[in-house]
Amino acid sequence: MKRMSFLLAFATLLGFAMPAAAQPYPSRTVSVIVPYPAGGSVDVVARLLVQKLNESMGQSFIVENRAGGAGGAVGANTVAKAAPDGYTLMFSASIHIITPFLNSKLPYDAVQDFAPVSLVASGPLLVSTALNVPASNLKEFFELVRKSPDKYTFATSSFGSAGHLAVELLKRDAGVETLVIAYKGASPMLNDLMGGQIQLIADPMASSLPLASSGKIKALAVTRTRRVAAAPNIPTIAESGMTGFDFSSWYGLWGPKSLPADITAKLQSEVAKALAQPDIRERLAILGFEAIGSSAAEFATYIGEESAKYGQIIRDAKIKAE
């Protein structure tokens, strides 16, 4: 009898212990850090993805906006210092790997301190001007700038962003030297463009295309070598009478370094499944993005290639740290 009581007690204890040890990931809330304010294009795409992950993996994923610091340094540092257990992730943009070229004092290594999970989406930038600028394409715009350079101010939503580098490429190809103001986010930049305080931006289509479509800003070109389905009437840079180039803003999912391979694989697989669904692909396409869902290895290779490209642009444009 005593033996049966002991075995029953042992089995009961084992029953409590086993689930704790064998709980599948995720078994608690996963914070997806977006190192930028809510409402921007990075935040919008992150929330689309998180919604799909919650549908497939249970209601465990939440978006946390941790804005602050150049290039999203505050939010990125939170992830870099987090435990590599899969419960703190980062959803960020290409600026994450651009910032180190412009800030040598970051408290983390943008490549070595993060584990790539998946390249999520990529899309061209929309080059736009204010409604009061008498130009219908980029060629006309830069002709005006050359005649009266002091009247024109260019802008970017963040120092070192993809939009900043695209504007620098346009300046280089047009042969102009014009001030570029760095804002702290897309919203104040777009407000000033609508108000006519600035005259040229390159911005992700997710945030600027709705304003162009509603006639609040003037779209001049897309930074692709071909027109995009989300805005078929907007010409490419080459069609606008300038040297054409293909430049994208892209978004990805990272974890802290040493993220376990099984968690990385599970996250990547679920991201790929989510991005294969027609509804999210359609929603991303409306925002000007192509859904990707790459493997972790493919994302790591892509990061290396993009980093080399950005470094060359920064050196050619002689962009210095703020």
Q: Which of 203, 250, 273, 230 is nearest to 49 (CA)?
A: 273
Task: Look at residue 246 and tell me whether its pLDDT is greater than 90.
Answer: no
Task: At 254, give phi and psi (nearest 5°).
Answer: -125, 160
Q: For residue 152, is it within any domain?
A: yes
For residues 133 and 271, state if they share a domain.
no
Q: At 220, which helix (H) or strand (E)? A: strand 218-222
The domain boundary residue, chosen from 240, 263, 297? 240
Task: Give the pLDDT band (50/70/90) at residue 18.
Answer: very low
Angle at 243 between CA 242 and CA 247, to 5 degrees: 110
pLDDT at 16: 45
pLDDT at 11: 44
DSSP code for 150:
G
For residues 93 and 44, state if they share a domain.
yes
pLDDT at 322: 63
Task: Look at residue 1 and tell me whether its pLDDT is greater than 60.
Answer: no
Q: Which two tokens stand for residue 184?
A: 């702290």
The domain boundary residue, chosen from 240, 259, 293? 240
Task: List all residues 6 or more positions away from 16 whose beta carbon is below 8 Å from its beta carbon.
Answer: none
Query: What is the span of the domain harbouring residue 286?
Result: 30-123+248-317
Task: Give the pLDDT band (50/70/90) at residue 7.
Answer: very low
**Average pLDDT of the chain, as a whole number:** 90
Percentage of the chain modeled with pLDDT above 90: 70
Predicted TM-score (pTM) of the model is: 0.85
Q: For residue 92, is it within any domain?
A: yes
* pLDDT tens digits, 36-58: 888 888 999 999 999 999 999 98
Q: At 45, which helix (H) or strand (E)? A: helix 41-57
Give the whole-angstrom CA distance, residue 238 versus residue 223.
9
pLDDT at 186: 85
Supply the CATH number for residue 253's domain: 3.40.190.150
Task: Look at residue 197 and tell me whether its pLDDT is greater than 90.
Answer: yes
* pLDDT tens digits, 226-242: 998 889 999 999 998 88
| 240: amino acid identity, one letter | S
For residues 130 and 234, state if they share a domain.
yes
pLDDT at 22: 56
Angle at 52 between CA 81 and CA 270, to 5 degrees: 65
Hunting for tokens 């914070």 — which residue is that? 31
Give the whole-angstrom CA distance, residue 232 versus residue 230.
6
For residues 146 and 97, state if they share a domain.
no
Task: Give the pLDDT band (50/70/90) at residue 120.
Answer: very high
Residue 159, classed as helix, strand or coil, is coil
Q: For residue 21, is it within any domain?
A: no
The domain boundary residue, chosen from 194, 223, 240? 240
Task: Look at residue 19 and tell me whether its pLDDT is greater than 80.
Answer: no
Neighbours of 294 (CB within 10 A): 21
Q: For residue 22, is it within any domain?
A: no
Mean pLDDT of 170-191: 90
Pair 170, 316: CB distance under 8 Å: no
DSSP labels, 232-295: TTSPBTGGGTS-----EEEEEEEEETT--HHHHHHHHHHHHHHHTSHHHHHHHHHTT-EE----
Supply the CATH number for residue 232's domain: 3.40.190.10
Q: Give the total number of structural domains in the chain.
A: 2
For residues 233 and 254, state if they share a domain.
no
Pair 153, 181: CB distance under 8 Å: yes
Cis peptide before 26 (omega within 30 of 0): yes
* pLDDT tens digits, 269-297: 999 999 999 999 999 998 889 999 999 99
Q: For residue 16, is it within any domain?
A: no
Pair 119, 148: CB distance under 8 Å: no
Q: What is the dihedral of CA 164, 170, 175, 179, to 10 degrees?
A: -30
CB burial readout 10-27, b (16+ within 10 A) else e: eeeeeeeeeeeeeeebbe
For residues 283 and 226, state if they share a domain.
no
Give the whole-angstrom CA distance, residue 106 versus residue 110.
9
Task: List all residues 6 or more positions away from 102 whose beta carbon is below 8 Å from its beta carbon.
Answer: 70, 71, 159, 160, 314, 319, 320, 321, 322
* pLDDT tens digits, 51-102: 999 999 988 999 999 987 777 899 999 999 999 999 999 999 999 999 999 8
